[in-house]
Structure 1
């Protein structure tokens, strides 16, 4: 008789243990996502664009991993860039919620937990080549025997990169859609768009052209690119490869 009376209590304890185990597993997985997102965002901070690009990268990383999660918890994210000892730090805070097996009665309102991660870029890579066009293919196109060399720089295209016969060598190479051809190091794709830093500049196109304007038309050959340190071009963009 006593055993029969104790069966419901034993059942509730067993169910509660399973429920708690699932919550702990969800919390650990959410922490892993938070850590990886912070690192992805920190990579963005290692390149000279702005904080918004790094935050957008971390947010998209979190959303992608939550989308791949079968029966994920409800997740609210708070992703910011904070200053610590003169360095920009990517901070990712994720609040998770799981419904309780007991109709959110135990604990009241269900299971709530929070994970937090911080990461900082260890190096900086200047942005030297930025292709802002987004509509036409072959936005950055190196042909024949042409070479684009930017050994200490980032080369970024807001659309694609296609090398046909030539080569690109840089510290980092990335594109929003695709990057093909002889490119060193291996290029990254899926990068966030980088806005034209000079789009807001007012250019007076009514000025007379000089009598003998300089001409520069390079179809083949080597182009050596060096860092361009301007207020608009020294914010950084990176991506996960």
Structure 2
């Protein structure tokens, strides 16, 4: 009996021993739980701080990119307010995915020498209801970029509708503007063998095609019309009724047309030669040069109330813009109400020295030759600039010594703008 009792005692637990063992296990669980709490906090803090470091990196990258983008835009002859707004918007787009968990704000400033600084602040919740640290985590970042390499504005497509091209080069057409800026307020497009070569190329919306050198800076800001407000002031004379609809110079005639208001449409045909006298020429109903006719003029401005300039067939043009007066620097300009396109389809349009300004009309070039290659400088600002066929528009930028001043807002007369940017270390 005692033997069985001894064996039973060796092979099992007494009631007292079982309770003691259970108590020990419970104490161990409590101790383990208490030990796990700081470990979990350490893990949570480590994860949170790693996320905070990554977010700080994202914020810094955002202001770096925005400062560079702003400095590039500052170089493209745009107003300071537009540059800073663009930089702020650009930075915000870089961290849009962080916005749901952070309160983010950016500011930007532009100095007189086109240095752009972008500052960013982000606030996010911290531990224990923002008690540690008080008010949550705050990230502050800053970046400064300088604009580089002067790029005068020489071709501007004003049309700013998203789905329409401001500049379109098709066929084998080319724009050659090697030392200046070609900018589209909408889309710039090259199709077939069309090419655009420039010191810098930018577009607000998109670039279609591959014929661009250098590559297009897309997402750029709108460049405001630098000649906004320019008006043709011969309206009253142009509204007078005339007995003739057109005056034509034909055959082999050689005529000099004095500056002033030309109320009838002017046509030059056959082998006639028309020379424009020095001064401002107001055309009430357009000017057409065709066949083998020629048009020459120095120190002239061709101002179109209605109609436009058309050069076709084998017509020859040799024109130099105004050197003085209200229209100094301009060669061709159309009233805002004038939607008549300027058309060049002749291969003999050699010199167009000065600014061509079609505020609400297009420049259409479709020829087998070069256009404006003999000009020391040219500036084209139009709703649309369209090249097709084998045409080649040559935009030179030899502003010094031309005798024709560059109008304020174009060419090299846009202040200390530059293109390209570098981030300060």
TM-score between both structures, scaled by the size of structure 2: 0.49
Pick from 77, 80, 91: which aligns with 1:48? 77
Q: How many Å separate the matches in 1 of 2:127 and 2:73?
A: 40
Partner of 2:241: none
SS of the residue 1:37 aligns to? helix
Q: How many Å separate the matches in 2 of 1:76 and 1:101?
A: 22
Q: Say if 2:396 is the partner of 1:226.
A: yes
- Residue pairs, 1:200-215, within 5 angstroms: 200-206=229-235, 207-208=237-238, 209-210=261-262, 212=266, 215=309
Q: Say if 2:158 is the partner of 1:158.
A: no
Q: Is the 8 A contact 1:153 1:171 kept in 2?
A: yes
Q: How many Å separate the matches in 1 of 2:133 and 2:182?
A: 52
Specify every segment of 5 or more residues in structure 1 that has no aligned partner in the other structure, as ranges: none
TM-score between both structures, scaled by the size of structure 1: 0.82
SS of the residue 1:128 aligns to? strand
Displacement of 1:180 after TM fit?
3.1
Q: Aligned residue pairs: how many?
A: 237
CA offsets, 1:166-222, max 9 Å, x none? Answer: 432111222223333433222232222221111233432515543755645322232
Partner of 1:198: 227
Q: Say if 2:149 is the partner of 1:117.
A: no
Displacement of 1:154 after TM fit?
0.9
Greater share of residues in strand: 2
Q: What is the alpha-carbon root mean square deviation over aligned residues? A: 3.1
Q: Is the 8 A contact 1:157 1:175 kept in 2?
A: yes
- Residue pairs, 1:1-241, within 5 angstroms: 8-69=37-98, 73-83=102-112, 87-135=113-161, 137-164=164-191, 165-181=193-209, 182-206=211-235, 207-208=237-238, 209-210=261-262, 212=266, 215=309, 216=311, 217-218=343-344, 219-220=366-367, 221-222=369-370, 223-227=393-397, 229-233=406-410, 234=414
Specify every segment of 5 or more residues in structure 2 that has no aligned partner in the other structure, as ranges: 1-26, 239-260, 267-286, 288-294, 296-308, 312-342, 345-365, 371-392, 400-405
CA shift in 2, pair 1:156/1:239, >3 Å? farther
Q: Is the 8 A contact 1:73 1:97 kept in 2?
A: yes
CA shift in 2, pair 1:21/1:90, >3 Å? same
For the pair shown, the structure with the greater C-alpha radius of gyration is 2
Displacement of 1:94 after TM fit?
0.3
Displacement of 1:137 after TM fit?
2.5
